[in-house]
Structure 1
């Protein structure tokens, strides 16, 4: 008697396909694993390229690259300009000259350029009726001189630390020195200059250096709100005459020479100061010439 068909069919199917489900699952698992491995490999490859790109794009620029950056160029330009400006400011406005020999030649001015350079300082002493000592204080109170920076007033600190200034264009009566007697009005001129200048701040426009280590300068001092030419005021007071040496005369320009001569002429006409007694009048130049010709001690510091 034959087996029912469904049993034989079932047995046959089971015998013929006993490994089919397992093989299919295994194959599918292998395919999935292979795909997973491929995907992981692709991801690792992409990640490695991405890291390289990021490293290249975010790495620090080289030294040469940094130098060519606009911000670097701008910063360098600003810094260089600032340094040069500060150096120029110091050399032109803040440099202090202790003595006359320290003054550079750029301060010795031709007459037509007399207002381009000057010395500003404190009058420490009066040497004679037409010269004095200046303690140079560049920029004055703007540089805190007399405020935070002390202006010395003792002889030890001032020694070899002042500029000897001679008033340009004027010649005051001579005091007694080199064995010669004093001229009339020499003490009056000395007292006038001391009262007018000592302890004051003055501005000096330097014209030349003389043979005695002094600098010849037109000197201004403020009286109230006005600025006064010291040499011109001495001429008007009749306590000085025009400087009349054969050489080395300096007035600061023709216009100033004319103004000085007019002031002397006015004092003569008004008979003020040393012009008050014409009978005994002897100008400083005549006085020096008399002693030079008579062998009485040479020219002197006129």
Structure 2
């Protein structure tokens, strides 16, 4: 038997088998049977191709179901592409990882569809905390809601829910969330979700003493917040005439950081008492 690349059939100096029967006859085997170009080249090509395909799959096409499956060396080096399955608060959401997007079959192949039920999504999503911003707090744990918290939550839900986003992951926080800078495409333009919230006056720049992440966008974020304040949009808007008649104050609103600090201090006093 001759391989297409094994040369001229009239070359009698080769010790390669001339038929499948000869190939199976161990008495006719020789060292050249396995080390000759006709056998060695296909083996090398097959091995390299298989290892490369496996590496590409593990690096770019393997679905990551939860934060516990993210390798430590992924942080600050990789991004995650997926669909937003739910919005939990005005600055965090759940992401169903869809590696490769539509090009790899997500959304149109029967076995690559994002679940639509809570049962189907349980333990299959990654909790994302939007980096660099802090949104007004909704009512929870017995605490009152901050002004504009519902507006911020509704805006984020409308902006990203059930949409595909790309999250550039920085680290895992103390609540098991992945802190990430998040981008979404709107009319073929890539938008920074955190930056858009700041422009709308629906978030402040994250001001915690530790754990803040901005990538390379900190100054851009701070400039956007200052512009929103100057334009009196969102949480920086002034009370209307009717509001002033009701006694609403025109002073600067309490930031999410100040809100958390105030409640944390009150909780410590209660525990001390």
Q: Same fold (TM over 0.5)?
A: yes
Q: Give CA deviations for 1:225-269 in whole Å, capped at 9, x if unaligned.
A: 10100000000000000000010111113xx00100000010010
Partner of 2:180: 217
What's the CA shift for 1:93? 0.8
Give 2:191's match in structure 1, choosing from 228, 231, 253.
Answer: 228
CA contact 1:178–1:297 (8 Å) conserved in 2:
no
Q: Gaps (5+ residues) in structure 2?
A: 1-14, 23-27, 239-249
Residues 238, 297 of structure 1: alpha-carbon distance in 2 compared, 3 angstrom cutoff: farther
Partner of 2:166: 203
Give 1:187's match in structure 2, choosing from 126, 143, 150.
Answer: 150
User: Is residue 281 from structure 1 mapped to residue 242 from structure 2 by the alignment?
Assistant: no
Give 2:262's match in structure 1, choosing from 287, 290, 302.
Answer: 290
CA contact 2:67–2:127 (8 Å) conserved in 1:
yes
The CA RMSD over aligned residues, in Å, is 1.9
Aligned residues: 235
Q: Higher helix proportion, which one?
A: 1
Counterpart CA distance in 2 for 1:68 and 1:215 is: 51
Counterpart CA distance in 1 for 2:269 and 2:176 is: 19
What's the CA shift for 1:58? 8.3
TM, length-normalised to structure 1: 0.75
User: Is residue 271 from structure 1 mapped to residue 232 from structure 2 by the alignment?
Assistant: yes
Give 1:140's match in structure 2, choosing from 84, 94, 101.
Answer: 101
Q: Give CA deviations for 1:40-75 in whole Å, capped at 9, x if unaligned.
A: xxxxxxxxxxxxxxxx99885524221111121110
Q: Gaps (5+ residues) in structure 1?
A: 1-55, 110-115
TM, length-normalised to structure 2: 0.82
| SS in structure 1 at match of 2:50 | helix
Q: Give CA deviations for 1:178-221 in whole Å, capped at 9, x if unaligned.
A: 10000000000000000000010000000010000100000000
Residues 297, 227 of structure 1: alpha-carbon distance in 2 compared, 3 angstrom cutoff: farther
Partner of 1:102: 69
Counterpart CA distance in 2 for 1:291 and 1:57 is: 82
